[in-house]
Amino acid sequence: MPIQIINNIKSFVALSQEDEEAFIKILEIKKYAKKEFILQEGQVCDKIFFINSGISRVFFNIDGEEKIVQFFFSDSWFTDYSSFLIGQPTNENLQAMEPCEVVHLKKNDLYKLYETNPVFERVGRVMAENAFMSLMQLNSMRTNLEPEDRYLNLLKQRPELVERIPQHYIASYLGIKPQSLSRIRKRIFDKK
């Protein structure tokens, strides 16, 4: 029973019993091992993903280098909108960092729901709005803070993330090299 995703949606849009049932019908739940790809560049992203459990990361390859965009813990949504909406191949990768359980929501099925019941149109709207707000926050972290402050900010805002995620991934997420993060950590530590 995909209770988690339903509760998540209900936290922002009211669903009737029938809505719930119609929605549950189109869901598919898959399990992924560590390092397995949930979405891989080159594919067309025709789904929306919901992370039930586990940790995953989104990254893309820029001339041979992985650039991490975001980490997703349980209870998170993800899709590559530019691939999802336009139908072009994605250049993003969604990869399990620990064993993950992921709910798949197929575009075609979702669009049918859009047609038959406008409440799902609203669900889609709120998801896009939320995605926008998250990205805005991420964007402002990266553009308004110095590397050192980005790390301090992350330590403060999401200490559990810093605990559980390898340092070179965090460096990539902060937009710097592992060596630089290592030095930043040393600087911070020496100050104290």
Q: Which residues bind DNA (CB under 7 A)?
A: 146-148, 166-168, 175-186
For a copy of itself, which residue of 10, 142, 164, 186 counts as binding (CB under 8 A)? 142
Residue span binding a copy of itself (CB under 8 A) among the ranges 16-24, 48-56, 102-110, 141-149? 141-149
Single residue of 24, 85, 89, 159 touching a copy of itself by CB under 8 A: 85
Nearest CB to DNA, comparing residues 75 and 148: 148
Long-range contacts at 163-166 (CB < 8 A, ≥ 24 apart): 164/55, 165/55, 165/71, 165/97
CA dist., res. 146 & res. 84, Å (int): 33
Burial class (CB in 10 A: 0-12, 13-18, 19+), 59: buried
Contacting residues for 59 by C-beta, under 8 A, at least 6 apart:
66, 67, 68, 69, 92, 93, 95, 172
Interface residue with a copy of itself among 29, 33, 138, 188 (CB under 8 A) is 138
Is 32 or 59 the residue whose CB approaches a copy of itself more closely? 59
Which residue type sits at 169?
Y
Binding stretches for a copy of itself (CB under 8 A): 62, 67, 81-82, 85, 114, 118, 121-122, 124-125, 128-129, 131-133, 135-136, 138-139, 142-144, 175
